[in-house]
Amino acid sequence: MQSASPFRAWRRQLSLGISCAALLCALAAPVAAKDSDADKPPTLVQADRLSYNQDTKIVTATGHVEVSQGDQVLRADKITYDQTRDVVHAQGHVAVMQPSGDVLFADQAELTSDMKQGFVDKVSILFTDDSRLAARDARRYEGRYLIADHGLYTACSLCREHPERAPLWQIKAVRITHDNVKKDVIYRDAIIEMGGVPVLYTPYFAHPDPTVTRRQGFMSPSGGYNETLGLFARVPYYFDIAPNSDAVFMPIFSDKDRLQLGGEFRHRFTQGSMRWSGSFTRANLMDEFGVDQGQQWRGHLFGDTLFDLNNTWRAGTKVAFTSDKSYLLRYNISNDDVLTNRAFVEGFQGRHYVVGNMYYFQDLRPGNQLTEPFVAPDVRFSALGEPGKTWGGRWSMNAGLLMMSRDNTVYPAYQGPDTRRLALDGGWERQFVSSTGLLTSLSGIVRMDSYMADNVPDPDAPAGTRFSKITTLRPFAQTDMTARYPLGRRGDGYQQIVEPIAVLSVAPQSNAGQRLPNEDSLDVEFDETNLFAPNRFTGIDRLEGGTRVAYGLRHALMGDNGARIEALGGQVFRLAQNHNFPGDSGLRNQFSDYVGRLDAKPGKWFDLSYGLRIDRDSLKFRHQELQASGGVDAFRPYISYLSANQTPVTTSIEENIEEIWGGFSSKFAKYWTLRFTHNRALAPDPGPRLTQVGISYQDECFELGLTGQTDHTTRLDVKSGTTVMFHFYLKNIGGLHTDGVDSGSFTPNLYQAPAISGSSSSRR
């Protein structure tokens, strides 16, 4: 019997029976303790029709039924609540949208109001990451388990053109259990299918559900064989310590080194973070001279810390230490030649900045006998005024204190100087724009540097034969005037700019700097990037004095469709030679070498960047650098070429370095990519260096890769050879990856710090 009078009662019954049950205790959500009706959020019920049978005490809602409470929504064609049996029945396009973002679909569902028991027909769950679980039927048990019979799980999307086809991979099981307390998906009698073809059977299999971001336990193991370590295996274990702290323990068992223990620890504070990684083993050591040192304790320690002290100041450290020069390469931890240890405090306020550093270096280059310095302190301060506030321009100020010491050695030539340096400078800059379009800027700097140093090499004596003690002041002043006159025009579909540029620098000669220690200005590379720089040295110990003019021309042609061709070239003229520059720098004589660069990208089908330096007298190339690629995604070749004349500080002998890289990439199918690259040295020791070929497949749920590599280089304590790299990954399930195969056996990257990022990390 239907009645129109008890409408409010129907709604109240529907709210208490349906929404409190179906919404607060949805199928895949944990059961919560019952709250009083007053504590429940308001419920909104929408339906084409509501009715209540007083005899059977059944509330019925039909036609586009939607019940929402808080952030949960239940939809169905029809929902009934049997008050006598305390059972909710939903049928017809049943959909439950849960707070986590997961959506449950079913043909019909019958559940108790407390949601601890229930049955669902033809159920499917769409998770937030687009993975899905489907089953013939399912039942709710103890408010915790959703048990699905004859179900399947996949993270792959169905083919739009042929949705009837099986996904790329799926797991079919006689029974699938979702534990919403432990967040596990458990399979019994499971078969993994690839493209609908069974490839693996397992009586039991489990993995975290998509809501799990990290989980304590064993990670995917890896192992194999190579000539350096023999047979080996790595079994990492992940510790989920706290939301802001975790660790990975990574033992490696090998035939030659027996056991290596390694791990990583991370922790986040309210105003800081730290990350430490390390490893150690007891194994044979072959030193850089080829002498077997027998069994030695070997290892490494890396660490980074950073703390925000307040809104202005922060402090941190960087630690990098290894027991010997070959350990990091042997275990593929790092390719760095020099390890830098740093402790610092720095402050930011407006346009002002100050930092105090302490450095310690560990040199890993074989054969290098120079003593690395200990730097403490290295204090720097910089300030910058507001534009237009000082005579129409703005001022700047810099100050620095550096103290550097080295351990005494038997051979002074290997020791290097002990340096104390105080540097102060102040500057001013203003820009002008004329009515004719001429852009000019005027700047000046005045500086005073104070040096006290011991064991400084005498430049007038043969290298390593005479040293002296230096105590001196170095005053210096420089004025720069820059002029640019950009000329532009617009054509049909393009813009063109021609811009002559000139910089006049006036300063006294600074040849006296040759007798000062040189700690931060050893490497001078003259190219188009520093053509108009006021000082082409990289640091403070050497200054580019003398009066000089840098001049050049920039040309740019830009199409409205994004095409671009840009060129820049120029030269430096100085009134007198500057002997502070190395002989091969191209800057020592009155007229410098010519430098330039051409960048061209007429379309997506071609990209070119070419830089060069040409000798001013012989017009021979002193430096060339080329990167070019072209073609389409189906086939895109590329080439990289480098040719340079340089004089290493350690040998003082000029040499020519020339090498070439070449290869291609080909996306020959929607998800398939083929890559090839080859590196060959042309000078001074011609020959192949590296050849690599790889093929990979990647879509939204599956990755597969295979790469072969032949390395012809020989490194300390590490043998070269042929390597094959393999990668296999199923989304949400995991996979297997190796970084190498030697002589047909898989050899993974033995130690690599995992990509852990605090509470948001993922460990599966």
Contact between 74 and 64 under an 8 Å Cβ cutoff? The reply is no
Q: How far apart are CA 232 and CA 223, in angstroms?
A: 5
Identity of the amino acid at 322: T
Burial of 490 (0-12, 13-18, 19+ CB in 10 A): exposed
CA-closest candidate to residue 354, choices 292, 408, 397, 317: 397
Give the pair of three-digit tokens for residue 50.
Answer: 């509501």
690 CB-side CA count, 13 A: 14
Q: Give the pLDDT score at 532.
A: 95
Using alpha carbons, select from 338, 427, 330, 346 the residue that is nearest to residue 379: 346
Question: Residue 293: its pLDDT value, please?
Answer: 84
pLDDT digits (tens, 9 = 90+) for 381-395: 999 999 988 899 999
User: Could you give the CA distance from residue 183 to residue 144 in angstroms, rounded to a whole number?
Assistant: 10
Nearest-angstrom CA–CA distance, 570 and 554: 9
* CB contact set of 80 (below 8 Å; sequence gap of 6+): 58, 59, 60, 61, 88, 89
On whether the CB atoms of residues 408 and 508 are closer than 8 A, the answer is no
pLDDT at 464: 61
d(CA 382, CA 395): 11
Task: Say how many residues make up the chain.
Answer: 764
Cβ contact 49:62 at 8 Å:
yes
Residue type, 353: Y
The residue extents of the domains of the chain are 1-113, 127-212
pLDDT at 129: 80
The long-range contacts involving 659-662, CB below 8 angstroms and separated by at least 24 positions, are 659/689, 662/637, 662/638
Architecture of domain 1-113: Sandwich (2.60)
| Predicted local confidence at residue 605, as pLDDT | 93
Q: Which residues pair with 78 in a beta bridge?
A: 62, 91
Spans in the chain with pLDDT lower than 50: 1-36, 740-764
Q: Quick check: 72 and 26 in contact, CB under 8 A?
A: yes
From the list 671, 669, 675, the residue with the least C-alpha distance to 695 is: 675
| pLDDT at residue 339, rounded to an integer | 95
DSSP state of 537: S
206-237 per-position pLDDT tens digit: 888 877 888 888 887 776 666 777 777 888 89
